[in-house]
Amino acid sequence: MEKEFDALSRRNAPAPSDTARARALSAAMASFDAADSQNNATQGNAGRPRPSSILNRVWSTAMNRRFLASSAIATLLLVPAAGFIALELSRNGLPGETPAIGEAPEAASPPATAKPTPKPALVEAMKPAEPAPQPNAPQPSATADFNADEVSNLLNKGEVARLGGAKQSPRGAAKQTMAERDAASAAIDQAVEDGERFTDNQMSGVKSVAQEPVSTFSADVDTASYSFVRRALMSGEMPRPEAVRTEEMINYFPYDWPAPDKADQPFKATVTVMPTPWNKGTQLMHVAIKGFDLTPANAPPANLVFLIDVSGSMDEADKLPLLKGAFRLLVDKLRPEDKVSIVTYAGDAGTVLEPTSASNREKILAAIDGLRPGGSTAGAAGIEAAYDLAKSSFVKDGVNRVMLATDGDFNVGLSSDEELTALIEKERRSGIFLSVLGFGRGNLNDGLMQTLAQNGNGTAAYIDTLAEAEKTLVQEASASLFPIAKDVKFQVEFNPARIAEYRLIGYETRALKREDFNNDRVDAGDMGSGHSVTAIYEITPKGSPAVLTDDLRYGIAKDGVPAAQKGDNGGELAFLKIRYKKPDQDKSELITSPVTDANGVASVDQASGDIRFSTAVAAFGQKLRSDPEMSDYSYDAITALADKARGADPFGYRAEFLRLVRLADGLGPR
């Protein structure tokens, strides 16, 4: 608790409305004054709890009982009150406090008639006028003022006035305006999410083709960001910009891109150029890649090790119970030739299930059902134990994968990203890959999830509902489990005679150097059976009024004339290259495809429904990140574009997307 409280003290407090802040501080002051006056009247009370015990009880009840997630006023009261009380206790201690056994006695408290320590001016200014003293009024006990159970119950009932001993309203409870409730709800969600960590990456800017004609990036089939966004919006708040990765939102949806006919060439690229819906004078170059889809009969056998976090923080409905349901769904998808092992970690890593054939379903499910939370998070030890188990049951020419399921950080043992990355890279080279499944909220380390998955040639997904578990582990099981290529890289070279500028939408965390493309030692993303990857460039044709950069004064070729203007490849807009390795090989292969005017369509409406829908998702991701390019493109326009392109939607993913856009429209700034 001390660590949590210390971490809280270093964070920026949420910013509720002035009215809500005043009410929270007033209630805190009233409660503090009641305790203070009682202390002065009952000096030397040996039965009074120590300050750390008081604070721990209040804070522990608030966090462990989850009333922060259910009571709108809880955060507004507890955060300022706990901070204020902690400050006062650290400065002066509680009057009349009895030292614990083994502690040195502190200086005696001042007598009850002593002048009280002045309070900070801000708090004093916001404090309501004190009522006249009532000599015969019963005095509450000092301990009762800090009764954690009572505090929790009163907060949940909204009876804030009773916490400070103030006179209740005729209806017996404090009233809140709609604005106060909204501010309180937002503060609660912010307080919970402040424990989550995301890597803040700057949005990709506009590049001049004359100066940087080549764009290189790694494949990304992760989908975690879309689930983060959905969770936030469904909770009534806008997602944090750093949690929005536009490419993961685009690639969340299944698309019917043309697929290759044979496994000899595992990818097929479809490129479409069309006008940009949100920026007149530019175009979108839409690159859709579809992987070869293995039939179940041709899929290799799988050796799966479930590495499950059962630490104490997993004891919440959207964590370990949801995790159990998710893995039960996956077990139902496996074949008799597949094997499953289970390793848990919490304090110490332990093997719950030795490698077991998936045909022994009841034994596997019994092991999953028997998982119980408790202990701290020895994540590194768990990973090492899981890899040891994967090696012991290694399947040659098969799929060997560790599937890590956790709610957050690795805070015991090997914990730095560098150390964990080195371990994952070493095991990846031995043929054992790693996928990461995130659960719950409040403790999620998204940056570490991404690091582990990317370096383990696996995927990172965030599971917030059983429906999401079914999508990730059942509908997309082949793509998640059976790789068809590793170290997949993309490179696009733009023709400076035709294109003046370009901007890659998303993929900020997947950017590579130009020279990395041909370097087989540089790691990149992997793609599974039937996976699709979509990348969208906003490009500005040469001579368009939308061009932002000036031409170079001294030319771009040795003789001052671009090669394209001499007739070499003059009809091309760009040139697409895909480099990949087969799962069992270390030397890459190359696929190339020119992009010409034949790839273009005259209007957005002439593009396929999947292209238009994925473009709407790209617009939404940029809008959530406050991309200046989207300032004049409204949520209504995004909704219209997506709605017309919804098409077949058997699982309701696209209908859900439309709901999220409408929610963002209602929650966003006006």
Strand partners, 285: 273, 537
Specify burial of residue 259 (Cβ count, 10 A radius: 0-12, 13-18, 19+).
Answer: middle
Closest CA to 216 of 451, 488, 425, 453: 488
- Burial of 4-42, coded b for 16+ CB within 10 Å and e otherwise, reads eeeebeeeebbebbeebbbbbbbbbbbbbbbbbbbbbeb
Which positions ≥6 away from 24 have C-beta within 8 Å? 16, 73, 76, 77, 80, 81
Confidence of residue 368 (pLDDT cuts 50, 70, 90): very high
pLDDT the model gives residue 172: 36
CB distance 439 to 406 below 8 Å: yes
Which positions ≥6 away from 199 have C-beta within 8 Å? 242, 446, 447, 450, 509
Average pLDDT over residues 79-105: 44
Give the β-pairing of 433-439 and 399-406. Answer: parallel
pLDDT the model gives residue 646: 95
> Is the per-residue pLDDT at 128 higher than 80?
no
CA distance 425 to 418: 10
pLDDT the model gives residue 72: 41
Residue with tokens 């940009």: 276
pLDDT digits (tens, 9 = 90+) for 224-275: 999 999 999 999 999 999 999 999 999 999 999 999 988 788 999 999 999 9
For the chain, the first-to-last Cα distance in angstroms comes to 40
CA 25 to chain centre: 32
Backbone angles phi, psi at 590, to 5 degrees: -125, 140
CA 169 to each of CA 34, 71, 138, 160, 474: distance values in angstroms, whole numbers, following the listed order: 19, 20, 19, 11, 54
Question: What domains, with CATH codes, occur in the chain?
Answer: 2-193 (no CATH), 207-294+484-667 (2.60.40.1230), 298-473 (3.40.50.410)
The mean predicted confidence, pLDDT, of the chain is 76
The amino acid at residue 398 is G
Describe the chain by its helix, strand, coil percentages, rounded to 5. Answer: 40, 20, 40
Specify burial of residue 134 (Cβ count, 10 A radius: 0-12, 13-18, 19+).
Answer: exposed
Q: Would you tell me how many other CB atoms lie within 10 Å of the CB of residue 46?
A: 7
Average pLDDT over residues 102-109: 40
Token pair for residue 150? 């009572």
Pick the range with the lowest mean pLDDT from 278-287, 300-309, 546-555, 629-638: 546-555
What is the DSSP track for 3-71?
HHHHHHHTSPPP---HHHHHHHHHHHHHHHHHHHHHHHHSTT-TTSPPHHHHHHHHHHHHHHTTGGGT-
pLDDT the model gives residue 119: 37
Confidence of residue 26 (pLDDT cuts 50, 70, 90): low
Average pLDDT over residues 299-322: 91
Confidence of residue 622 (pLDDT cuts 50, 70, 90): very high
pLDDT the model gives residue 382: 81
Is pTM beyond 0.85? Reply is no
Return the half-sphere exposure (C-beta side, CA atoms, 13 A cut-off) of residue 206: 16
CA distance 534 to 476: 17
pLDDT the model gives residue 94: 43
> Is the per-residue pLDDT at 610 higher than 70?
yes
> Is the per-residue pLDDT at 112 higher than 80?
no
Confidence of residue 418 (pLDDT cuts 50, 70, 90): confident
Pick the range with the lowest mean pLDDT from 14-28, 89-103, 344-358: 89-103
Token pair for residue 74? 């809880």
Token pair for residue 135? 């000599």
- Look at residue 217 and give its three-state secondary structure: strand
pLDDT the model gives residue 654: 97
Question: Of 26-40, 302-316, 486-500, which one has max mean pLDDT?
Answer: 486-500
Percent of the chain with pLDDT over 70: 65
> Is the per-residue pLDDT at 8 higher than 60?
no
Closest CA to 607 of 268, 274, 384: 274
